[in-house]
Amino acid sequence: MSRSPAFPLSADGGRTSGSLLAGFLSSDLPRSKVLTVILLAILLALAATPFLFSGSLPLSTAAKICVFIVLVASYDLLLGYTGIVSFAHTMFFGIGGYGVAITLERFGATWISIATGLFVALFLSALLAIAIGLLSLRVRAIFFSMITLAVASAMAVLASQLSTITGGEDGLSFQLPVELRPAFRLLPEPVLGVAINGRLIAYYLLFFVALLMFLLLLRIVNSPFGRVLQAIRENEFRAEALGYRVVAYRTMASVVSALAATVAGALMALWLRYNGPDTTLSFSIMIDILLMVVIGGMGTMYGSVIGATLFLLAQSYLQVLMDAGSKTLAGIPVLPNLIHPDRWLLWLGALFVISVYAFPGGIVGRLRQAEQ
């Protein structure tokens, strides 16, 4: 872009430059002490999970959090920064997963398979995102939501029907390259009591790719391109009048976000050594992503970190709490049903609605507000 928009943008507030950290974070600092502490805690906990907790469940949860941070952050690029609602984000997530799964299953467990699968998946995602964008964003943004919903559901049906390629409802299980298998030992001796095996390498691969993707997305939203997206979100007509081609920018945003979701899908498949409709393609994951973005905070990348972490922890631990509550209330009609562990989504849904009304900035917005 040759010039910056002529009007001030909200996210421009805390620009500081100079330090190395600010450079890493694209000068978009958390701008709240509490938020900074929480983010650092999450970062450290994720980085040290294999050494802090034993057993496979904490490690799986941590890996899932890493993947979902990328997925949710890329969705926030669309929803929070560009102001368009897509329901096809899981489709791109699924394409990433299937890309890697299909090549690893067909062409053997090599790094080349992973690269090929990822590359083909990225290409396909970009193509689809452009097609959807041009078909629907020309007219009005609201078409985009409905059309993405339709295309995503058609894609889910296709994935379950083309069972010779995708494994249908059963999905695909596959082997990883030797270096990522649990039996592989990088060091003969355990470090701090933890064996340095392929599983650990896979986790750190996930962790660093996720971190890199997150910083990249942070860079994108703070670039001149990202500023134009925010301008479009705030006032579409004004942005157009200033000479920015709204359709082109929105389509670009949806492509970037689709590519990031594809990478997240590939990471998910690599971690699970499996990909199927339920792990990457289902509509319930789409709803989860929406909840994470809105509760964490739309329009800030840090919101996705908070949202994904909170949601996935709640998924594991809120249900235990609700189970206890449900048992103590047994005997009263309907009430135990409402806090039955399977109904945890009811409460998160209510929190979601309240968030949209009362705290449009989500948790991050709330924390920043409290600071001022």
Partner 1 sequence: MTGTTVEPSAPSEPLPRTRTDWLPLLLVPALALLALPLVGSGSTWATLTVAGLAMGMMIFLMASGLTLVFGLMDIINFGHGVFISLGAYASLLVLGPLAGWAQSDSVWLNLALLLFCILAAMGVTGTVGAVFERIIVRPVYGSHLKQILVTMGGLIVAEQAIHAIWGASPIPIPLPATLRGALIIGDVVMERYRLVAVGIGLVVFVGMQLLLNRTRIGLLIRAGVENPEMVEALGYRIRRLFVSVFVAGSALAGLGGVMWAFYRQTLTAGMGMEVMVLVFIVIIIGGLGSVGGCFVGSVLVALVANYVGFIEPKLALISNILVMALVLIWRPQGLFPVARR
Cβ–Cβ under 8 Å, residues 265 and 93: yes
Q: How far is CA 328 from the centre of its chain?
A: 36
306-335: which residues touch partner 1 (CB under 8 A)?
Answer: 334
Question: Would you count residue 290 as binding partner 1 (CB under 8 A)?
Answer: yes
The residue range among 195-203, 207-215, 300-308, 346-354 that interacts with partner 1, by the rule CB under 8 A, is: 346-354
The residue range among 10-18, 42-50, 80-88, 237-245 that interacts with partner 1, by the rule CB under 8 A, is: 80-88
Shortest gap between Cβ of 107 and partner 1 (angstroms)?
26
Shortest gap between Cβ of 161 and partner 1 (angstroms)?
6
Shortest gap between Cβ of 285 and partner 1 (angstroms)?
13
Choose between 210 and 348: whose C-beta lies nearer to partner 1: 348
Kindly tell me which residue out of 342, 369, 370, 371 binds partner 1, with binding defined by CB under 8 A: 342
Shortest gap between Cβ of 349 and partner 1 (angstroms)?
3
Round to whole Å and give the CA distance between 306 and 292. 8
Choose between 44 and 154: whose C-beta lies nearer to partner 1: 154
Kindly tell me which residue out of 13, 108, 243, 349 binds partner 1, with binding defined by CB under 8 A: 349
Q: How far apart are the first and last CA of the chain?
A: 33
> Pick from 338, 221, 316, 211: which is nearest to 267 by CA?
211
Kindly tell me which residue out of 124, 126, 216, 338 binds partner 1, with binding defined by CB under 8 A: 338
Choose between 47 and 338: whose C-beta lies nearer to partner 1: 338
What DSSP letter does each residue of 124-168 carry, written as one string?
A: HHHHHHHHHHHHHTTT-HHHHHHHHHHHHHHHHHHHHH-HHHH-G
Q: How far is CA 335 from the centre of its chain?
A: 34
Choose between 170 and 342: whose C-beta lies nearer to partner 1: 342
If binding means CB under 8 A, how many residues of this protein chain bind partner 1? 42
Round to whole Å and give the CA distance between 18 and 289. 34
Cβ–Cβ under 8 Å, residues 270 and 174: no
Round to whole Å and give the CA distance between 302 and 20. 19
Question: Would you count residue 223 as binding partner 1 (CB under 8 A)?
Answer: no
7 Cβ contact partners less than 8 Å away, ≥ 6 residues apart: 231, 238
Give the amino acid at 302.
Y
124-163: which residues touch partner 1 (CB under 8 A)?
Answer: 135-136, 138-139, 141-143, 145-147, 149-151, 153-154, 157-158, 161
247 Cβ contact partners less than 8 Å away, ≥ 6 residues apart: 133, 134, 137, 138
Shortest gap between Cβ of 313 and partner 1 (angstroms)?
19
Shortest gap between Cβ of 286 and partner 1 (angstroms)?
10
In 10 A of CB 74, how many CB atoms?
A: 29
Shortest gap between Cβ of 62 and partner 1 (angstroms)?
26
Taking CA atoms, 294 is separated from 10, 258, 267, in Å, by: 18, 19, 23
Question: Would you count residue 34 as binding partner 1 (CB under 8 A)?
Answer: no
Residue 229, burial from CB neighbour count under 10 angstroms (0-12, 13-18, 19+): buried
Choose between 186 and 354: whose C-beta lies nearer to partner 1: 354
Choose between 294 and 364: whose C-beta lies nearer to partner 1: 294
* Binding footprint of partner 1 on the chain (CB under 8 A): 79, 83-85, 135-136, 138-139, 141-143, 145-147, 149-151, 153-154, 157-158, 161, 283, 287, 290-291, 294, 334, 337-338, 340, 342-343, 345-346, 348-350, 352-353, 356-357
